[in-house]
Amino acid sequence: MIKITQKAIDVQKVIDTASSLGAGAVNVFIGTVRDNAHKKNVRWLEYEAYEAMAVAEIRMIIEEATHRWKLLGWAVSHRIGTLKPGEVAVVVAVSTAHRKDSFEACEFIIDAIKAKAPIWKKEVFEGGEEWVSANPQMVMHTN
Amino acid sequence: MTVQKLKLKIFGAARDIMGGRELEIEVNGQTVGALRQTLFTLYPALKQLNSLLIAVNQKYAADDSLIHESDEIAVIPPVSGG
């Protein structure tokens, strides 16, 4: 399952989708919204995605992971829209026979999603906002 | 040289700079590289981004890739998912 969704992610559902009776390990990464960045308070994040391509990129990442590790199950869900501190932005779950593969595969998948999937987030602070990673150190001030 | 009218999908920081989610621009050339050069000329602020990639039909495309008016073309500023 690869999902890009406006709705709150049901973490248990992602885990259940990735689970397998043949697996001895289910590894889950949950990415959440921090309440701070650059020593400032984050009010909320705005996430957007080029949805069709994001799904295609994540599918390629999963394919590469399945070549490198024996995945018995997997699922990825990424939220878009407005997210407040503490909310879940992304969940990656994989199941494998033994735990080492599950840690490695899960880390590989989330790292590759962050590097390649066309998804963006803007941090909204008190009095300013900034597209994350877009510029060397620019903050756009709104007032 | 062939002038093409290309429809662009634009995201994130690039959208703030270019002022729209979808724009049509004329490009003198048939490659991704020609499109990128045209974008940097029309919108010099794009050069301040850490990177600017072009996707053609939902795949990242190199500068020597050919583009056509019928392609789905997207302007991809630095990604920051997760």
Work out how many domains chain B is built from and give that number: 1
* For range A3-9, the mean pLDDT: 98
Check A56 against B59: CB less than 8 A apart.
yes
pLDDT digits (tens, 9 = 90+) for B29-56: 999 999 999 999 999 999 999 999 999 9
List, as one string, the DSSP characters of A29-69. Answer: EEEE--SEETTEEEEEEEEEE-HHHHHHHHHHHHHHHHHHS
pLDDT digits (tens, 9 = 90+) for A42-84: 999 999 999 999 999 999 999 999 999 999 999 999 999 999 9
Q: Does B79 touch chain A (CB under 8 A)?
A: yes
Residues from chain A contacting residue B9 (CB–CB below 8 Å) = 50
Tell me which chain A residue has its CA closest to the CA of residue B51: A134
Q: 19-78 in A: which are within 8 Å (CB) of B?
A: 31, 47-50, 52-54, 56, 78
Residues from chain A contacting residue B16 (CB–CB below 8 Å) = 131, 140
Q: What is the pLDDT of residue A137?
A: 61
Task: For residue A130, report the phi and psi dihedrals to the nearest 5 degrees.
Answer: -155, 130
The domain containing residue B46 runs over which residues? 3-76
Residues from chain B contacting residue A134 (CB–CB below 8 Å) = 12-13, 49-50, 77-78, 80
* Cα atoms in the 13 Å half-sphere on the side-chain side of A19: 7
Would you give the DSSP letter of residue A22? T
Q: How far apart are the first and last CA of chain B?
A: 42
CB neighbour list of residue A26: distance below 8 Å, 6 or more residues apart? A15, A18, A19, A73, A93, A94, A95, A102
* Within a domain: B45: yes
CA dist list (Å): A62 to A27, A58, A101, A105, B6: 15, 6, 14, 9, 32
* For range B56-70, the mean pLDDT: 97
- A2-141: CATH, from 3.90.1170.40, 1.10.1270.20, 3.10.20.30, 3.40.50.970: 3.90.1170.40
Closest C-alpha among A71, A112, A77, A110 to residue A94:
A71
